[in-house]
Amino acid sequence: MNQARHAYVTLVTNADYAVGALALVRSLQRTRTDAEIVVMHTGGVDATALTPLASLGARLVEAELLPTSEAFNERHQRVRLHADAPFTKGNKPAFHTPLDNFAKLRLWQLTEYERVVFIDADAIVLRNIDRLFSYPEFSAAPNVYESLADFHRLNSGVFTARPSEATFRSMLAVLDHPEAFWRRTDQTFLQSYFPDWHGLPVFFNMLQYVWFNLPGLWDWKSVSVVHYQYEKPWEKDHPKADKLKPLIDLWHAFHSGEGIPDLNSLENPAGS
């Protein structure tokens, strides 16, 4: 298969997530991937925030927010969503706008690629995961970070897709119907759109809360992607900074490119 038709894709709608994407892009480069690395960005992101990503070799593709209706936008506004479907397990940073998440769906319009793997801008990739390009659409890992019940849901921070304008159009039609409320935005939508989603092992999308909630599941020998869901490692006044220090230090090493540790030297959390 022609490797040039494979791409890792992430999304950045503001300068804060561009910070995240820098660590992600650097981490992907280190895995010696054959695929292209694409950063979809909205017009709202400053060129100065994007330049370092291009310098690392990422392809920048402008992608606007979806043309959803006013009523839809109202229902998914940050204040409204946080009130109607509160986050009880962790905190979302102030720079997180729920409505922006839906722009992920634009990757289905990147039809110059045959297969893509989407990765949230708040993740880092530790090992080569190019084999995901041969996995079917739609594959994602379960949203596991607390208990067995989490296996019922997927997490949309890492998933496999096949770009197609027809799929994109069909998604838009389903997404924005009267009264539609996707409580966890793109994640809830994708799970509903692909009810027969294929389950990836959790190691392809290891959520940071596993570190303290389910330490027995954490094994550095298996973890391919670390995903910093809820609080971000570059946030000021990070309420869980003490608990997550080893993971935050790791992210900073990838962000700066300095002091990236030998993966074999990483210690599993106490209790694992």
* Residue closer to ligand UDP (CB basis): 74 or 221: 74
Least distance in angstroms from the C-beta of 120 to Mn ion: 3
Closer CB to Mn ion, 139 or 143, in the complex: 143
Residues within the interface to ligand UDP (CB under 6 A): 10-14, 17, 96-97, 100-101, 120-122, 157, 229-230
Continuous segment of H or E residues that includes residue 198: strand 198-199
CB closer to ligand UDP out of 36 and 122: 122
Find the shortest distance in angstroms from Cβ 253 to ligand UDP.
Answer: 19
- How many whole angstroms separate alpha carbon 162 and alpha carbon 74? 30
Of 178, 185, 202, 226, the C-alpha closest to 27 is: 226
Binding mask 150-179 for Mn ion (x = CB under 5 A): -------x----------------------
Toward Mn ion, which CB reaches closer, 26 or 184?
184
The residue range among 62-70, 116-124, 179-187, 260-268 that interacts with Mn ion, by the rule CB under 5 A, is 116-124
Q: Contact at 8 Å (CB) between 233 and 248?
A: yes
Q: Could you tell me how many residues make up the chain?
A: 272
SS3 content of the chain, % helix, strand, coil (to 5): 40, 15, 45
- Nearest residue to Mn ion, scored by beta-carbon proximity: 120
Q: Does 120 bind Mn ion (CB under 5 A)?
A: yes
- 122 lies in the site for Mn ion, by CB under 5 A: yes
Q: Nearest CA to 116 among 40, 234, 267, 5?
A: 5
3-state secondary structure 19-62: HHHHHHHHHHHHCCCCCEEEEEECCCCCHHHHHHHHHCCCEEEE
User: Measured from the CB of residue 1, what is the shortest distance to ligand UDP in angstroms?
Assistant: 27
- The dihedral sign for the CA sequence 194, 198, 204, 207: positive
Among ligand UDP, Mn ion, none, residue 14 binds (CB under 5-8 Å by kind): ligand UDP
By beta-carbon proximity to ligand UDP, the closer residue of 105 and 217 is 105
Nearer to ligand UDP, 45 or 129 (CB): 45
For residue 19, give both structure tokens.
């910070």
- Please report, as ranges, the residues that interact with Mn ion according to CB under 5 A: 120, 122, 157
